[in-house]
Structure 1
Amino acid sequence: MAEIYLDGVTARIGKHARLQDIHLRIGNGQHWAVVGANGSGKSALGRLLCGEMEVLRGTLHLAGKSVCVAFETVDEILGIERYKDDTDFLDRIDQGTPVRDFILEGRPEAARRLEELVGQLGLDGLLDRGIRYLSTGEMRKVLICRALLQEPELLVLDEPFDGLDSASREVLRGLITALTQRGLCIVLLLNRFSEILPCLTHVAYIRDCRLFACGTREQMLASGALRRLHAFHYSLPDQLPRGDKKQDSDSWPGRGPLIEMKQVMVRYDGRYVLNGLDWTVLPGQHWQISGPNGSGKSTLLSLISGDNPQAYANDIRLFGRQRGTGESIWDIKRQIGLVSTAFQESYRVGVTVELAVVSGFFDSIGVYGRYSRTQRDIALQWLEILQMADKRHVPLRALSYGEQRLVLLARAMVKMPVLLILDEPCQGLDEVNREMVLKLVDHLGAGGHTQLLYVTHHPEDRIPCIRHRMEMVAAVGGGFTARLSEAPAGPVPGKA
C-alpha cells in the first residue's frame, strides 16, 4: 500500500464543527490507534481517511480502497431493515435480510472467502438468520466480515471491541493481528488505552477536532501526561436531582418482588433464546447480568421493559402484577428507565439534547406536548452533571455516538425510576466519561430509591453497589437459562 498522508487538512464534520489542520502520515507497514474523548473527532477522522468527508483545504493522498466500520453504519442498516419490514402484511414474522445475503451483497464469487471468515469470527449458525435479530456483538462481527470481503487496502474500525463478550474480543484481537501480518493497513478508533493492541505500531491522540499528539506506540503509551489528560478525576455532586413530585406520587410502593419469572421460554423460528429461566428481584437488590453474545440478555431485558410480546405467553410478574392482566405498557414504562444500543438506534426524531432528556418524563421518543418548568430544570441539572449542558440546544443526532449515550443516560435517570435498566451503558464512552457514568450509577443505586439491572461485557466496569449476579448459561434442550449468585461488594478494579 502506498503512503497515506494528510497535510494541513481541514474538513467539515457538520454545520458548525470541523476537523482542523490535520497532519498525519501512515507509512507502509504501519498500523494506528486513534484515541480521544467522546466528541473529539475520532469518528470524523476515520471517515476522512476513507474519503467520506468534505475537505475544505489542505492536501491528502488516501488508500485506493478503504472501508470504515462504525456505530453509525449499524444505525443506518437497521433503519433500512425497519423500513423494509413487511410483518404487518404477512401471516408470519418477516425475518428481513439474511446474514449471508447481507455479507455477500450480491457477489456469489465471495462465498468461499466467506466460509473461511465464518469459522474465524465465530459466525457459525448466523448466516441464515435475519440481521435485525442479531445481538450487538453479532452484528459487529458480521459488519467486519462484510468489510473484509471487499478486500480493502485500509480498514478503519470504530470501537470494534464494544458490545463483544470476552471470548469474542479475544477472537477479534487475534483476527486484527493476523490481518496486520498479512499486510492490511489497520486503523482502530478507540476510547480505551487498554485496547491498543501490540500489533499496532503508532498512536494518535485527538482532542477538540485536532491531532494533539502522534508517535510510536511505545512513546505514546509511556506518556504519563497524556494519560492524565485523558483520565482526570470526576467528582459527583453532593445530591442528585430529585424526580418530578407528581410522578413520585404515582410510583410503585415497593411491597413484594419487583420482578418474578418462572420457567420463562422465548423462541424465534423454533429456536430457543431463553429456556427455563427462573429469576426473582427483591426490593433493594441490584443485579449485574453477563453472558456471551447471543445468550438472550437483551431479550430478557425486553421482557421487563414491555417491548417483547412474548412476555404475555410466560409467567412473569412485574411490580407485583401479572403480565397480561390488563396493565398498559405505559404502566410498566412509568416505573422504568432504559439505556440500550437498540433504544439509541430507535431514537431518531429531530429533537434537541434538552428535549431528548425531557422526553424521559413521558417515556416517549420526542416530546409532543407541554412540559413543566420543573421538568426542564431537572433535565438541565442532569445535563450539567454529565458535562453536557453546553450542548442543550444542539440536535441530538448531531452529537457523536458517545455523547448521544450520555444524553440518553440523563433521559433514563431524569425521573428517578424505580428500576433502571442499563444494557451496556458505557458502550462508546471514553475513559473519562466511563468513569463518570460508573460512579454516577453506583451513587444512584446506593441512594436506595432506584434499583439497577446492569449488563456489561467488561469485568473492569463493575459497579460496587451491585452484589447480585446473573450469568446466562447454556440450557438443556437449547437456548440459555440463568445461573444466579451473590458476591460481596467491593471497589471497582483499578480505582482508588
Structure 2
Amino acid sequence: MNIVLQDAVAKIHNGKNLEGITFNIEADEQWAIIGANGSGKSALGKLLCGELKVASGICRIPAKAGYVSFEKIDELLETERYNDDSDFLGYVTQGTPVAKFILSGSQADEATLLELAQEMEFTGILERGIKFLSTGEMRKVLICKSLLLEPELLVLDEPFDGLDQHSCEVLRTLISRCIGRGIRVILLLNRFSEIVPEITHVAYLKECRIFMSGTKNGMLDSEALRRFHAFHYTLPDRLPEIDCAHRPEPLPAGVPLVEMKDVKVSYGGKPILSGLSWTVSPGEHWKITGPNGSGKSTLLSLVSGDNTQAYANDIALFGRKRGTGETVWDIKKRIGLVSTTLQQDYRVGGSAKMVVISGFFDSIGVYSDPSPRQLEIAQEWLELLHMNHRAGDTFRELSYGEQRLVLLARAMVKQPDLLILDEPCQGLDDVNREMVLKLVDHLGRTGDTQILYVNHHSEDRIPCIANHMELVPAAGGGYTGKIVH
C-alpha cells in the first residue's frame, strides 16, 4: 500500500501542530526528511508510525511500523531507572539484559536474534544490562528490536548520531538490506551528507510544514534549497560577562586540571578502562576518540565527579586527589558539562531559561533564587545560541536538538575552568552545529576555559583543540589511552 497523508494536522504540544501535511509515498520509494531543530521531524516520524494521532485530514499508514529515536532511548532508560533496585539492595544490579529486552514482545527466537546481532556486530553486549550501554550501542539495540518485530515501515530518527565510523558503515549496509527485503525506510536527518544511496526522495520540513519535496537528485541540486539552508554564524564581539561573585578561586599556576595514573574501571566484572594514564595540563584542550563502548563517557564521568569508581583510583582533579576530603560540589563548581546522560537525567520541570540558570548551581533544577546578574547572563547565552525565543518554554517540550542547545548554554554560562563536551552536536542540524562549533572554539581561544571533547564526526572539528587521546583495546581487556601525535 501507499503511505498517504492528506492535509493532516496533528497536535505536538501546547498549541504547536504539524499543519497541512500532504505526503504520498509510493511502494518503491524510500524517503529522507530533512529539517532544522524544532521543525517537527520527530513528530512527523511518530505520525507515520501511528504514535501521534491525527486531529484532522487523511492518514493511511502501515499497520506494523518501527520507530527509533533518541527519545525512545530516554523512555527506555527512564523505565529502567524506575525498576532499578540498586539503592535499596546496596549494590549495583545488572538490570534488564540486552537479549531479554530485544526479545520481549517478539516472536523471534534466540537464534534469530543472534544472527541479526552478528550482522549488526553487537553480540558481545547481549548479556549486558541495557543501562550500561553507550548511546551508540543503545541505538543498535533498538534498531534490532524493531527489525525483529518485522515492520512494513522503519523510521530512523538521526540513526547515525552517536555511532563511530565503522558502526555507521554497518548501519548503512543494514539499511540497504532492509530495503532489499521489502521494508520501507524513512530517515529523519539533520545532515544532508547522511542520505544513503538507496534514498529516492527528500522532503524538507520547516515550521512543522513540508517546505519542499521531490526526487533526491532534484532536491540536492535545488538552488532555492541551498540558499534557504545556507548559514554563516558571526561570532559575538564579546562573550557574556562572568558572574564574579560566585566564581571559585583561580587555580595555582601550573596545576594540572586532570591527572590519572593506571586507572581501572569495571562493571559486573567486565573491564571498561584498564591501565589508563593521562594528564591535562594548564592551557590544553583535548579531543577524545574511540569506538562505541570503549569507555569515553565513563572516562569523562571520572572527571566530572559523577563516577564513584574515581575513589578507587589514583585520580587528582584541579590539584586535589580524589578521596582527600573534597566534595563532588568542589569539583562541579569548576566544570561545565554537556552529555547524553545529563540530557536523559534532566527530568525536572521548568523553563529553558531556568535550565541555563541551573548551570550556576551545578544542579538539575533551580532551588535558590538567582541573582539579577545571573538572570541577565543566562539570557545573553540563550541569545548567543539563538534560543532566546524559547526561553520561557518548558524544557521537556523542546525538540531533542533544542534541548541540546539549552544544555550547551547551561554548560558555558559560568565559563568554567573545564568544559566537558560529550557529543555536544548530537541531534543538531547543520546550522546549529556550525554555530556551536564556532562558539566553543571562540570560548577556548579567548577565555580561560579548557575543553575536553568527545566526538565521532571528523568534520565537526574545533580548531583550538590540539591534543588527541584515542581509546584503544588494552592487553588485559577493556580500553586504555593512546596519545595521538
Amino acid at match of 1:289: I
Shift of 1:34: 0.2
Q: Partner residue of 1:489?
A: none
CA deviations on 1:355-408 (whole Å, 9 max, x unpaired) are: 000000000000011110000000000000000001111000010000000000
Instruction: Please say if 1:102 is aligned against 2:101.
Output: yes
Shift in CA distance, 186/109, structure 1 to aligned 2, threshold 3 Å: closer
- The answer as to whether partners of 2:5 and 2:23 remain within 8 angstroms in 1 is yes
SS state of the match for residue 54, structure 2? strand
88-97 vs 153-162, greater mean Cα deviation:
88-97
**Distance between the aligned counterparts of 1:394 and 1:448, measured in 2?**
30
Shift of 1:247: 2.2
Q: Partner residue of 2:343?
A: 344
Amino acid at match of 2:326: E
Shift in CA distance, 443/218, structure 1 to aligned 2, threshold 3 Å: same
Amino acid at match of 1:185: R
Q: Partner residue of 2:360?
A: 361
Q: Partner residue of 1:280?
A: 279
Q: Partner residue of 1:304?
A: 303
- The answer as to whether partners of 1:231 and 1:431 remain within 8 angstroms in 2 is no
**Distance between the aligned counterparts of 2:191 and 2:246, measured in 1?**
38
CA deviations on 1:158-189 (whole Å, 9 max, x unpaired) are: 00000000000000011001111111000000
**Distance between the aligned counterparts of 1:324 and 1:174, measured in 2?**
47
Query: TM-score scaled to structure 2, two decimals?
Result: 0.98
Amino acid at match of 2:453: Y
Identity of aligned residues (%): 60
- The answer as to whether partners of 2:106 and 2:148 remain within 8 angstroms in 1 is no
Shift of 1:92: 3.3
- The answer as to whether partners of 2:444 and 2:464 remain within 8 angstroms in 1 is yes
Amino acid at match of 1:88: D
Q: Partner residue of 2:187?
A: 188
Shift of 1:269: 1.6
Q: Partner residue of 1:227?
A: 226
- The answer as to whether partners of 2:248 and 2:334 remain within 8 angstroms in 1 is no
Shift of 1:55: 1.5
SS state of the match for residue 272, structure 2? strand
Correspondence list, 1:191-206, <5 A: 191-206=190-205
Instruction: Please say if 1:243 is aligned against 2:242.
Output: yes
Instruction: For structure 1, list consecutive stretches of 5 or more residues without a partner in the other structure.
Output: 487-496
CA deviations on 1:197-225 (whole Å, 9 max, x unpaired) are: 11111100000100001111111111133
Q: Partner residue of 1:47?
A: 46
Amino acid at match of 2:233: Y
Amino acid at match of 1:181: G
CA deviations on 1:439-493 (whole Å, 9 max, x unpaired) are: 000000011410000000000001000000000001111110011134xxxxxxx
Shift of 1:107: 4.1
Correspondence list, 1:13-162, <5 A: 13-90=12-89, 92-107=91-106, 109-162=108-161
Amino acid at match of 1:120: E
SS state of the match for residue 424, structure 2? coil
Instruction: Please say if 1:389 is aligned against 2:388.
Output: yes
Aligned residues: 485
Instruction: Please say if 1:461 is aligned against 2:460.
Output: yes
Q: Partner residue of 2:472?
A: 473
CA deviations on 1:15-47 (whole Å, 9 max, x unpaired) are: 110011011001101110000000000000001
Query: TM-score scaled to structure 1, two decimals?
Result: 0.96
Q: Partner residue of 1:259?
A: 258
**Could you say what the CA RMSD is over the residues aligned between the two structures, in angstroms?**
1.1
**Distance between the aligned counterparts of 2:166 and 2:218, measured in 1?**
30
**Distance between the aligned counterparts of 1:465 and 1:64, measured in 2?**
50
**Distance between the aligned counterparts of 2:293 and 2:469, measured in 1?**
15
Shift of 1:116: 1.4
Shift in CA distance, 331/198, structure 1 to aligned 2, threshold 3 Å: same
Moved over 6 A (4+): none
Shift in CA distance, 254/373, structure 1 to aligned 2, threshold 3 Å: farther
**Distance between the aligned counterparts of 2:106 and 2:23, measured in 1?**
35
SS state of the match for residue 6, structure 1? strand
**Distance between the aligned counterparts of 1:254 and 1:166, measured in 2?**
39
**Distance between the aligned counterparts of 1:30 and 1:420, measured in 2?**
44
- The answer as to whether partners of 1:284 and 1:448 remain within 8 angstroms in 2 is no
Shift in CA distance, 236/250, structure 1 to aligned 2, threshold 3 Å: same
- The answer as to whether partners of 1:252 and 1:335 remain within 8 angstroms in 2 is no
Instruction: Please say if 1:404 is aligned against 2:403.
Output: yes
Amino acid at match of 2:460: D
CA deviations on 1:397-429 (whole Å, 9 max, x unpaired) are: 010000000000000000010000000000000
Amino acid at match of 2:294: S
